[in-house]
Amino acid sequence: MRALLPRSVFGQLALVIALVLVGAGVLAVLLGRELATRPAAEQLLRAMQGFAEVVEALDQHQPHARTVAQLRDAGLEVRSTPPADARPRFAPLLRELRERAAGTLGAGRELRMEAGRGLRVIWLKPATREPLWVSFAYDRPGTGMRRFSVFMLIGCVALVWLAAAYFARRLVQPLRQLAAAAPAIVRGDAPPVVPARAPREVAGLAQALGEASRDVRAAAEERALLLAGISHDLRTPLTRLQFALEMVPDTDPDLTRSMQRDIMEMDAILGQFIAFARDGRDEGSETVDLAAICRHAVAAASKGWRVELPEHALLPGKPMALLRAVENLLVNAERHGALPLSLRLWAEGPAWVVEVADGGPGLSAEAAERARQPFVHDQAGGGSGLGLPIVDRVARQHGGELRLLPNTPQGLRAQLWLRAG
């Protein structure tokens, strides 16, 4: 049953309104039968009962032929043979007369219906000495009247639907705006302004989301301040340690180089902490050349890269955030992958795609999903576990996404999709 119900709020409102209209129509038919059709049928049957009693009394006190002549002189159609009995489908009054005739008219009397020639005819058979059928005819509603009634019904239904659609749109439109802005609200952005004419419950929901967004933004700012402060404070003793290491005489060169690599690794991790804490929101957006950013990033790489870049690749974005994202992809491939290493950039519809491929062991689908989470990294490979999460965040800030795909015959293809405009 649930599978048959519409998924959207508008669809469910439309279904509710349709059921209400159907229920109102059924109720109108039942009320019409109880308040109009049934009393009219009873009144008409009592009149026919009185007419039958008069005809029967005349037939008892005078010849049958004289009774027939008097009825014809009164303008009534009379016959001795029984007429064809029809069962009209769309005549509530005639159906009610047929159902109640036997119990109201009495023994020896009968009622039959006949439809044709634009008329509806009711034949009454009184309990006379010889068979006698008397007709009562009335005009059926004309085609114009029926068409007018149908058009009135359709017009009323259409007006109800239009009014319902208007109020349903007033309810659904703010909800759609809030749903579209939900990912940004979760990240701490302010929710969209709800129109003043929005329902009170929707306005309350927007206010609650706004308060939650402010709480998330405050927590993110506190976290950023904490991480940036710790990282900055740790970098100062690291710098002094590196300087002191250079000044110590008679030190084993291999030990010195090993300690310097450790210091550089710690400095790089602290740099990732600061980049992750800042979140890229403090940087303004401008028109950047993604191809130039890729060239700059690959120029600082430590291994040999095969590069395929167009002359220019313009898009609106944050230059430092994009450079950090490309650098993280290159460092991740050099640290966890293997040769050959390649960097490609091409246009794919309304987006630019930066692809960094390597020939290393690659990642399974589960491992690729975990790699997007902060502080999840390969212990053997080192690193902070923030490289790919930073890339994923930058991609979402630019209306794109990060895709981690298997390479052929082995390795990983990390694709950074960015919206071109």
The number of residues in the chain equals 421
User: Which two structure tokens, joined as six digits, stand for 321?
Assistant: 């955030």
Output the pLDDT for position 356. Answer: 96
What letter represents residue 69's amino acid?
A
**φ, ψ at 323 (rounded to 5°):** -65, -40
Predicted TM-score (pTM) of the model is 0.50
Work out the average pLDDT over 207-233: 74
Vertex 412: Cα angle to 406 and 417 (nearest 5): 85
> With 50 as the cut, is the pLDDT of residue 1 above it?
no
Compare 67 and 190 and report the one with higher pLDDT. 67
Task: Give the C-alpha separation, 267 to 231, whole Å.
Answer: 9
Helix, strand, coil tally for the chain in percent (to 5): 60, 15, 25
Task: Answer whether 92's CB lies under 8 Å from 86's CB.
Answer: no
Q: For the chain, what is the largest distance between any 2 Cα atoms, rounded to a whole number of angstroms? A: 153
Task: Give the C-alpha separation, 398 to 420, whole Å.
Answer: 9
Could you report the per-residue pLDDT of 334-377, keeping only the tens digit for each? 988 899 999 999 999 999 999 999 999 888 888 888 888 876 65
Task: Give the C-alpha separation, 358 to 341, whole Å.
Answer: 5
Compare 186 and 204 and report the one with higher pLDDT. 204
Task: Answer whether 49's CB lies under 8 Å from 105's CB.
Answer: yes
Output the pLDDT for position 412. Answer: 94
DSSP string, 186-204: HTTPPPPPPPTTS-HHHHH
> With 60 as the cut, is the pLDDT of residue 145 above it?
no
Please list, residue by residue across 130-165, b when 16 or more beta carbons sit within 10 angstroms of its beta carbon and e when fewer do.
Answer: eebbbbbeeeeeeeeeeeeeeeeeeeeeeeeeeebe
Binned at pLDDT 50, 70 and 90, residue 30 comes out as: low
Could you report the per-residue pLDDT of 62-105, keeping only the tens digit for each? 998 898 888 888 888 888 888 887 776 666 777 777 778 877 88
What strands, in cross-sheet order, belong to the sheet with 119-125?
78-79, 133-139, 119-125, 110-116
Work out the average pLDDT over 21-50: 76
Output the pLDDT for position 327. Answer: 92
Sign of CA dihedral 184, 186, 190, 196: positive
Compare 335 and 174 and report the one with higher pLDDT. 335
Compare 125 and 177 and report the one with higher pLDDT. 125
Vertex 331: Cα angle to 327 and 337 (nearest 5): 140
Binned at pLDDT 50, 70 and 90, residue 34 comes out as: low
Task: Give the C-alpha separation, 86 to 91, whole Å.
Answer: 11
User: Which two structure tokens, joined as six digits, stand for 214?
Assistant: 């402010």
